[in-house]
Amino acid sequence: MTKTGELSNIPYDDLVVDERFGPYDEVVTAHLASRLAGPIGAPTVASFAPPAVYPVLFLRALRRAMGGIPAGSILAKQELEFVRELPVDSPVAVTTWVGAKEIKRDRPFVTIEFEIRDAEDQLILTGRKIIVWPTGPGEQA
């Protein structure tokens, strides 16, 4: 487990496509949902998890799985596919995995996939983040 304050330094070559991490248990608290439901700085009462909650859950799971997104990386794209609503104060399980590794325009790209399931194992959301990785093939962090 990585200490708080450290960032991931996993080299591109060490990433294994389809290797699963988790599931990691989280709770979508009313406090978290309310902070992310309304305008910035104006907490709003939320009965269901707003869309902004899911990237937070992803980042928490990625931190536990790999120490987070590596320093020097660039988020190139993010996609979320909503399946059903999630009431606040609900427990969820978050699983992450490396979906793909590829070189485009001489730069290393890594797709990190994730899914979030509720306590009944019902799919709530899937998503992916495409990240320009700070190291490429044969390079160390």
Strand, coil or helix: 104:
strand
- Residue 34 sits in a domain whose CATH number is 3.10.129.10
Assess if residue 116 is contained within a domain.
yes
Assess if residue 82 is contained within a domain.
yes
Predicted local confidence at residue 6, as pLDDT: 53
Assess if residue 3 is contained within a domain.
no
Could you read off the pLDDT tens digit of each residue along the chain, which spans 141 residues? 434 445 578 889 999 999 999 999 999 999 899 888 878 777 788 999 999 999 999 999 999 998 888 888 999 999 999 999 999 999 999 999 999 999 999 999 999 999 999 999 999 999 999 999 998 887 876
**Sign (positive/negative) of CA torsion 5, 70, 116, 17?**
negative
Predicted local confidence at residue 40, as pLDDT: 77
Q: Are 29 and 49 in contact (CB under 8 A)?
A: no
Number of domains, the chain? 1
Domain that holds residue 23: 12-132
- DSSP, residue by residue, 60-93: HHHHHHHSSSPTT-EEEEEEEEE-S--BTTEEEE
Could you tell me which residues come within 8 angstroms of residue 104 by beta carbon, excluding any fewer than 6 positions away? none
Assess if residue 51 is contained within a domain.
yes
